[in-house]
Homo-oligomer: A and B are copies of this chain.
Amino acid sequence: MTRATPRNAVSSQTVLDTALTLFAERGYHGTALSQIAEALEVRTPSLYNHMTSKQELLQTIVEATVRGVLADFRQATQGRTEPIDRLFHAVLVYARRHATHRREAIVVNRDTSSLEEPFRSQMQALRREHEHALRQIISDGVAAGRFTVDSPALASFAIRELCVSIARWYQDDGPIGPDQVAREYTEFALSIVGVGKR
């Protein structure tokens, strides 16, 4: 049975959450399990009651995040056919996620290279799916005469990295909420492909 009133609130969840915070702060290789343990006020080997390895922590974080991004994208674009509409909502949820899931975004973008094979390649394939889907929207929009941009590939890269960058400065306790940031950045994205304010 799981303890009703545990002496300390340590669980798979809290270990993962603490790892997430520290990985985002100092990187995967820059974070020692002893630091995670210390943050939880526990000895290092006790962590193994809630996980199987340090690498597994990273894999859990990356997989959940990458799958979340794809799920967001599908939900945001399904049923929409107009390129401007599709791009607007695809960017909106992607930008928003980087304000609400800052730590995850930072870890995925910095430490994917620390994933062991073949997991790393699998995750990269999933990321490419999102990458290509977004580029496709832009290409379609250019073909339909809705967007004005020299290179859809360049614009796609620019827009994605623009959203990712939110994770690097956004502060939860700041004066501006996730929805507001997402809307402003979506405006930036649309202006990149030559769509003025509506």
Contacts and interface: CB of A to CB of B under 8 A. Distances in A.
Interface residues of A, number: 29
A27 B29 CA distance: 8
Given A29-B27, A113-B27, A158 B162 contact: yes
Q: How many copies does the complex hold?
A: 2
Interface string A128-169: 000000000000000000000011001101100110110011
A52 B168 CA distance: 32
Nearest to A25: B113
Interface of A: 25-30, 110-111, 113-114, 150-151, 154-155, 157-158, 161-162, 164-165, 168-169, 181, 184-185, 188, 191-192, 194
Contacts of A151: 184
Contacts of A192: 188, 191-192
